[in-house]
């Protein structure tokens, strides 16, 4: 080309022209409190926080419009020094800003650092309770493939599965940003995961949807590149367990789904057993308890009777109610299978006391007792009951066969809550340990 020589001369001139004005930074005065500010991202940042009054300012026009004034007194410490430099993946980055965000519904928080390189633009480092990741904007839009409740995403020929979603809110900022950030900014996010360490995220606000991809990064890499605060270091050395980390709504929903499912199935089993059980009253009789006489032994039973149980193996419930007041009833109930000789035996007592004292009536103890024998085969049985009481009170003996068993349901649900409780303890033990480390 004819003009190549002259243009290369001109190129040199341009380079010289620019080399003369070396430093590029801009001094501003906060329009709210008149403190001096130095803008690093000249022509790049459109929001800068005034550290003396907490206002966020748009530095673009000479009037310096205020985006927001300080809203919250709550302060968070940046784990990386704002303005600090570090080299990662072959590029030199400057820490431009620090954002503390919280999950609106779950309340947990995390830290984000905005990195800037003149050549590569913006990236983020995210410190999620000690787990660090490096976040880049996606080059183009990932494709969302709806499939029921769990949509998938394809990006750069890879498929990602929906992992969790939630709403994030900005609770604190420091430094400079390339968008008009404000405390209180909300975004809905959906994370899609591939394997353990690759993730793409869609963040939607009223105006737009922004996609980013993130990869886990070892804390040692952060530490060799940037100056890290003692708190952030401690978090990274003792991070929240991976399993506990996504204590998000989606994760909790999953856990709750399983728990409800389990409880539901337990209930269904109970209901079905109730529906199909005979719940049959086999025997009822009212007798009078004997009053024991000192020195006398081998008292005859109050009941000795033949009874029969039908159906397949199932439970037998014994109810003993004695109309006793200010005294006790002791009893033995035995069921002996006539064919096999197997005996089912239970001893118990009802004690009941009541009175009237100082204008108030009181009572303690119980007049009734029940016991369940499990897995009792059908057949002919001999029922022996011995009952002794302080006075000769009426005692009612009742036998019920194939009774729906609430005990199983209670056991089942108890087990469920037991597991949940142990899970909570495991989680809070970690939290307590962190607290102890920080305050010891």
Partner 1 sequence: MSEFQCPSCSGVLKFKSTSSVTMTCPFCTSTVVRHDLNLELLGKVSGTIEDLSPLQVGTSGYVGSKAFQIVGRATYSWDDGVWNEWRITYLDGSNGWLAEAQGEFTIFDDAISSADKGFLNNLKVNAEIDFNGSKFMVTDIKKAECIGVEGELPFVGTKGRKGTFYDLSGFKNEFLTFEETEAGSNLFRGQKIDFDNLKLSTLRYIDGWD
Round to whole Å and give the CA distance between 418 and 416: 5
According to the binding rule CB under 8 A, does residue 411 interact with partner 1? Answer: no
Q: Which helix (H) or strand (E) holds 314?
A: strand 314-322
Is 158 a binder of partner 1 (CB under 8 A)? no
Q: Using the rule CB under 8 A, is 63 a contact of partner 1?
A: no
What 3-state class would DSSP assign to 147?
A: coil
26 vs 247 by CB, closer to partner 1? 26
Regarding 11 and contact with partner 1 (CB under 8 A), the answer is yes
Q: Crossing angle of helices 230-237/406-439, nearest 10°?
A: 140
Q: Residue 324, Cβ neighbours under 10 Å: how many? A: 23
Q: Is 207 in the site for partner 1 (CB under 8 A)?
A: yes
289 with 392: CB under 8 angstroms? yes
Residue among 93 and 283 whose Cβ is closer to partner 1: 93
Question: Phi and psi at residue 43, in whole multiples of 5°?
Answer: 75, 5
Q: Is 10 in the site for partner 1 (CB under 8 A)?
A: yes
Asked if 380 is part of the footprint of partner 1 (rule: CB under 8 A), the reply reads no
67: contact with partner 1 by CB under 8 A:
no
Structural tokens at position 423: 């899970």
Closest contact distance (angstroms) between CB of 27 and partner 1 is 13
Q: Nearer Cβ to partner 1, position 24 or 432?
A: 24
- The answer to whether 178 contacts partner 1 (rule: CB under 8 A) is yes
Q: Within 10 A of 145 (CB to CB), how many other CB atoms are there? A: 11
Cα separation, 113 vs 136, whole angstroms: 12
Contact pattern from residue 103 through residue 142 relative to partner 1, giving x for each residue in contact according to CB under 8 A and a dash for the rest: -------------xxxxxxx--------------x-xxxx
User: How far are the Cα atoms of 57, 271, 410, 412, 422 from residue 417, in angstroms, in the given order?
Assistant: 51, 20, 10, 9, 8
Q: Residues in contact with partner 1, total (CB under 8 A)? A: 44
Site string for partner 1, 335-364 (x = CB under 8 A): ------------------------------
Q: Which is nearer to partner 1, 200 or 376 (CB)?
A: 200
Examine residue 7 and tell whether it contacts partner 1 (CB under 8 A): yes
Closest CA to 393 of 286, 293, 319, 298: 286
Residue with tokens 């056991």: 411
Do residues 55 and 173 touch, judged by C-beta distance below 8 A?
Answer: no
Quick one: which segment of 2-10, 190-198, 242-250, 393-401 binds partner 1 (CB under 8 A)? 2-10
Residue with tokens 């009253």: 281
Is the CB of 10 or the CB of 254 nearer to partner 1? Answer: 10
Where helices occur in 247-405 by DSSP H, the ranges are 249-276
**Residue 71 or 139: which CB sits closer to partner 1?**
139
Q: How many Cα atoms within 13 Å fall on the side-chain side of residue 20?
A: 5
In the complex with partner 1, the residue whose CB is nearer, 108 or 179, is 179
Task: Single out the segment in contact with partner 1 by CB under 8 A; choices: 206-214, 240-248, 350-358, 370-378.
Answer: 206-214
Q: Contact at 8 Å (CB) between 309 and 362?
A: no
The answer to whether residue 179 forms part of the interface with partner 1 (CB under 8 A) is yes
Residue ranges that bind partner 1, judged by CB under 8 A: 1, 3, 6-7, 10-11, 13-15, 17-19, 22-26, 41-44, 46, 60, 92, 94, 116-122, 137, 139-143, 178-180, 207-209
């Amino acid at each position: 080309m004819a003009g190549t020589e002259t243009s290369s001369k001109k190129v040199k001139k341009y380079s010289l022209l620019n080399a003369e004005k070396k430093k590029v930074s801009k001094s501003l005065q906060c329009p709210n409190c008149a403190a001096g500010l130095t803008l690093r991202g000249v022509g790049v940042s459109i929001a800068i926080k005034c550290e003396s009054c907490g206002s966020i300012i748009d530095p673009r026009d000479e009037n310096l419009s205020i985006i927001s004034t300080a809203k919250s007194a709550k302060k968070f410490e940046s784990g990386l020094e704002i303005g600090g430099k570090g080299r990662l993946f072959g590029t030199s980055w400057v820490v431009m800003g620090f954002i503390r965000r919280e999950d609106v519904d779950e309340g947990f928080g995390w830290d984000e650092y905005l990195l800037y390189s003149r050549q590569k633009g913006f990236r983020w480092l995210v410190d999620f309770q000690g787990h660090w990741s490096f976040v880049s904007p996606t080059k183009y839009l990932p494709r969302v493939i709806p499939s029921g409740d769990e949509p998938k995403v394809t990006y750069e020929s890879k498929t990602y599965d929906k992992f969790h979603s939630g709403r994030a809110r900005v609770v604190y900022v420091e430094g400079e940003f390339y968008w008009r950030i404000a405390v209180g900014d909300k975004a809905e996010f959906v994370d899609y995961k591939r394997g353990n360490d690759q993730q793409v995220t869609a963040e939607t606000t009223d105006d737009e949807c922004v996609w980013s991809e993130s990869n886990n990064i070892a804390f040692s890499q952060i530490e060799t590149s940037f100056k890290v605060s003692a708190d952030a270091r401690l978090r990274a050395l003792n991070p929240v367990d991976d399993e506990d980390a996504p204590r998000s709504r989606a994760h909790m929903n999953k856990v709750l789904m399983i728990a409800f499912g389990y409880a539901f199935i337990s209930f269904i089993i109970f209901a079905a057993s109730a529906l199909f059980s005979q719940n049959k009253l086999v025997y009822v009789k009212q007798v009078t308890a004997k009053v024991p006489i000192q020195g006398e032994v081998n008292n005859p039973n109050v009941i000795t009777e033949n009874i029969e149980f039908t159906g397949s193996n199932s439970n037998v419930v014994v109810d003993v109610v004695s109309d006793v007041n200010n005294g006790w009833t002791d009893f033995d109930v035995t069921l002996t299978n006539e064919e096999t000789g197997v005996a089912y035996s239970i001893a118990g007592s009802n004690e009941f006391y009541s009175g009237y004292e100082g204008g108030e009536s009181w009572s303690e103890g119980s007049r009734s007792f029940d016991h369940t024998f499990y897995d009792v085969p059908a057949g002919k049985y001999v029922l022996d009951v011995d009952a002794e009481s302080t006075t000769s009170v009426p005692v009612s003996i009742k036998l019920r066969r194939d009774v729906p068993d609430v005990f199983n349901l209670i056991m089942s649900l108890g087990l469920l809550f037991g597991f949940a409780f142990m899970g909570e303890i495991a989680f809070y033990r970690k939290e307590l340990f962190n607290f102890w480390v920080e305050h010891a």
